Structure 1
């Protein structure tokens, strides 16, 4: 299956400022496969070392900081060949190996001729620990679940993916493309972007296998909860994780601790929630009060929404049956459109550097699903899991903040169009939001503001 992240890896390889690479991503998102495939395509060979399968390799990093000696020991122990500039060295499952992570400093300073990539399933948690870390000595790369575009490529719909890439005007999508893209998106809501789940559909068209694959992945995550150093946090992480569908099923999706259990308090669950965030399993979206810059300046840290890392995992954890795929728009609208919001958030986080926020007013109630920072503009975004939409909250946001709002964006099942300053983007175009917003702003004559 084609993964577009390979392009980012080639940039890393060719950069004159290349440093050892830290690859982050949730379990079973395809980190190991991507690194091996990248090595196969762009290097003479891959030298792969798994520090979970071969725990004895860790000792080589405990006894010396000499890079040449470390590599010599690894080559002798594994019978693998390492040639500077010609070999991609992959250190896998390094989350429990602080000495391996710390050694990247010495590789960067003393042996930049070696191309090294480190990966691990809970690496985000390991990097958050207050231990010795090679600050400024490594590059980072985030590998996320497969996008809808990657799903199209895996499903043999290269023509549809290529068509989406060619869009350079805000005008309606012809039915010949709109209708099949709409149908494919419904299937993507079923599979999500986890490679194993996608493979079960694209190769076997087996819905039961999709269900089994997603259940297995969720089970693996839930077993990982037990790896928290404080065993008392395990049940809290588990309850919090299982509460996410209930949190998103409400009209007001603000995260409420009492949904986890009656009488629950923030101080009891903050550490458990942070563990899930650092593990990459959930996205935490804070509420903000105004559209000023930077986007973090107006955060209300007491109010936030929580989404899962993948829309397919959310569907499976919510126990929504794939049969909804055949029932019109039901899959999009099921439990207040939470699947669509989760899907759009996934797409936005890959395109914009700052994590999206959301805006809400309590009395009277208004809520804009997401706020994104694009260059020096804050853009409000609503997600509507239907057609013939109205955007009451976007209208209110415009009334309150006036000239600060250059463009309003709505994702829905309506066609692509620009109505005054309201850009409607079909849900299946979420991967192209940044490009379409840029086209719309240019069409309106509202290029990015300056500092």
Structure 2
């Protein structure tokens, strides 16, 4: 399946100031697959080393951190000489060797001609304690679950995407195409963007198999908590993780520590929550008081919402039947707003990696997201269907007079004065439309 990050990996390969690369991302988002594919398509050879369950490999880094010695010994393990420039070296699950993480500094300083990429569970890297993390000596890229654009590509609709990509903001999408995209969008809410889940859906179209794989992924996350977190922190990580669907389902969506565990306060749980954020498993969206640059200067550290990195896993954790999304039954009514918000947030983060904010004026009005596109601060209201009645965005527009406002819904593409209605299924193109 095509992943857009391949273009960034090629740019990394061609940079003169290239450093060892750490590909960050949550477990099961396709890091190993994409690095192997990148190596196969862009190098003469790939030398792959997996540190998980392989203490013998880690010992080659524990003797000392001499990169020239390590390269020779890795070549012996590989059964083939590792050549600079033409061999891609992959260190998988690198969080299982603190010495290997530290060694990246010496690879960069002493033998930068070798091309080294690393992958690992972000939670493991966050909670591991390297001898000395190679700050400033490594490059980073983020791989997230597949965005909706990549999901549509995986479903063989490249021509449809090319057509939509060229549409002007003032031109409506033909109904036949809109219906097709709407179905794909609803399917994406069911599957989410975990590559193994998407691959299963594309091949089998079997929701029960999709949910089986999602359950396996969710269980692997719980195992990661137990494997990497201190014993005292594991219960906190697990409780926060399991509370997120309930927190999002509440009317205002604000994260409340007391809903994780009765009587819990911020000081009891904030470190555990930050670990989940650092691991890329959850996203924190802070409230701002007013939309001004820099947005961070006007944000509140204590008022925030928490979302999941994958909307399909959110649906599965919520025990929401897939049929409810397509049938629009009452079972879906309560939760569809939160799921759609989570989807839009994931798409926004995929655009630049930047986290948006949300705006609230007392108890009278709330705008789901405030995002910055170059010099524009854009309010974004999210609606899960074609019913778009809401006064909150109107309150914001009257107060701040933004040059452009966005409403994401299932309505067709439309511009009404400075209000741009972007269909949820083409939100990946929102920056161009703005």
Q: Decide: shared fold, TM above 0.5.
A: yes
Aligned to 1:191: 191
Equivalence for 1:401 = 400
Tell me which residue corresponds to 2:231.
231
> Superposed, which structure 2 residues align to 1:355-366 within 5 Å?
355-363=355-363, 365-366=364-365
Return the alpha-carbon distance in structure 2 between the equivalents of residues 5 and 62 of structure 1. Answer: 32
1:143 aligns with 2:143: yes
Matched with 1:448 is none
Structure 1 match to 2:432 = 435
Query: Equivalent residues in 2 for 1:40-189 (5 A)?
Result: 40-122=40-122, 125-126=125-126, 132-189=132-189
> After the TM superposition, which residues 229-378 of structure 1 pair with which residues of structure 2 at under 5 Å, given as runs?
229-328=229-328, 333-363=333-363, 365-378=364-377
Aligned positions, number: 434
Query: Structure 2: which 5+ residue stretches go unaligned?
Result: none
Q: By how many angstroms is 1:251 displaced? A: 1.6
Report the CA distance shift for 1:329/1:358 in structure 2 as closer, same or farther (over 3 A).
farther
Q: What is the CA–CA distance in structure 1 between the aligned matches of 2:177 and 2:81, rounded to whole Å? A: 49
The answer to whether the 8 A contact 2:46-2:88 is kept is: yes
TM-fit CA distance, 1:196: 1.1
Which position in structure 2 is the counterpart of 1:410?
A: 407
- Going from structure 1 to structure 2, the CA distance change for 1:109 and 1:36 (only over 3 Å counts) comes to same
Per-residue displacement from partner, 1:329-388 (whole Å, max 9, x unpaired)?
A: 87975515111111110100111343111111223x211111111112221111100114
Contact 2:127/2:229 (8 A) holds in 1: no
Q: Using the TM superposition, give the Cα deviation of residue 127 of structure 1 relative to its aligned residue in structure 2, in angstroms.
A: 7.5
* Cα distance in 2, alignment partners of residues 128 and 434 from structure 1: 37
TM-score using structure 1 length: 0.92
Instruction: Provide the residue aligned with 1:33 in structure 2.
Output: 33
Say if 1:332 and 1:340, in contact at 8 Å, map to a contact too.
no
Taking the aligned partners of 1:330 and 1:177, their CA distance within structure 2 comes to 27
Does the CA-based 8 Å contact 1:192-1:312 persist in structure 2?
A: yes
Q: Which moved more, 1:52-61 or 1:126-135?
A: 126-135
SS in 2 for 1:81: coil
Matched residues in 2 for 1:84 and 1:270: separation? 44
Within 5 Å, give how 1:198-237 maps onto structure 2: 198-237=198-237
- With over 3 angstroms needed to count, the CA separation of the structure-2 counterparts of 1:126 and 1:261, relative to structure 1, is closer
Counterpart secondary structure, 2:18: coil
SS in structure 2 at match of 1:371: strand
Aligned equivalents of 2:265, 2:91: Cα separation in 1: 40
1:192 and 1:310 in contact (8 A); partners too: yes
Structure 1: how far apart are the matches of 2:62 and 2:47?
20
- SS of the equivalent of 1:203 reads helix
For the residues of structure 2 that align with 1:422 and 1:124, how far apart are their CA atoms?
A: 43
1:312-341 per-residue CA deviation (whole Å, 9 max, x = no partner) reads 000000000111243048797551511111
The 3-state SS of whatever aligns with 2:233 is helix
